[in-house]
Amino acid sequence: MKVPQSMNTYCPHCRKHTEHEVSLARKGKERSMSLGRRKYREIKKGYGGSPRTPKKDVYKVAKRITLILKCKECNKKQQRVYESRTKKRVEIV
Ligand SMILES: [Zn+2]
């Protein structure tokens, strides 16, 4: 799937249509000291297994695309999630 490098779309901060810079959303690095991680570590201590069910083999191939749109006027970012799924690699053209 091809995505344009910039698009004209609505900015909720400017309250009008402006030019936006497009980039792909990527998963950030996990923080080892976040509250959820700390709780999980505490539960995993000692006897007893994992509190979460183990992950099954991935059967979903197609993924939803999340774009990050950055307004060129106010420099604020917003996410746009597309409901349709794609198997193809997303590239910014
Ligand atoms: Zn804006």
Per-residue DSSP letters for 37-60? HHHHHHHHSSSS--SSPPPPPP--
This model's pTM is above 0.75: no
- Cα of 10 vs centre of ligand 1, distance in Å, is 8
The domain 1-27+60-93 is placed in CATH, from the list 3.10.450.80, 3.30.390.50, 3.40.50.2300, 3.40.50.1220, at: 3.10.450.80
pLDDT tens digit sequence for 6-47: 999 999 999 999 999 999 988 889 999 999 999 999 999 988
CB atoms inside a 10 Å sphere around CB 11: 19
Contact 1, 86 (CB under 8 A): yes
- How far does residue 8's CA lie from ligand 1's centre (Å)? 11
pLDDT on residue 26: 87
**Which sign, positive or negative, has the C-alpha torsion 14, 77, 91, 88?**
negative
Q: What is the mean pLDDT of the chain?
A: 90
pLDDT of residue 63: 84
Which pLDDT value is given to residue 49? Answer: 80
Report domain extents, the chain: 1-27+60-93
Closest CA to 83 of 68, 57, 65: 65
Sign of the CA dihedral 72, 77, 83, 89?
positive
pLDDT of residue 70: 96
C-alpha of residue 51 to centroid of ligand 1, in Å: 44
CA of 73 to the centre of ligand 1 (A): 5
Q: 82 CA distance to ligand 1 centroid (A)? A: 21
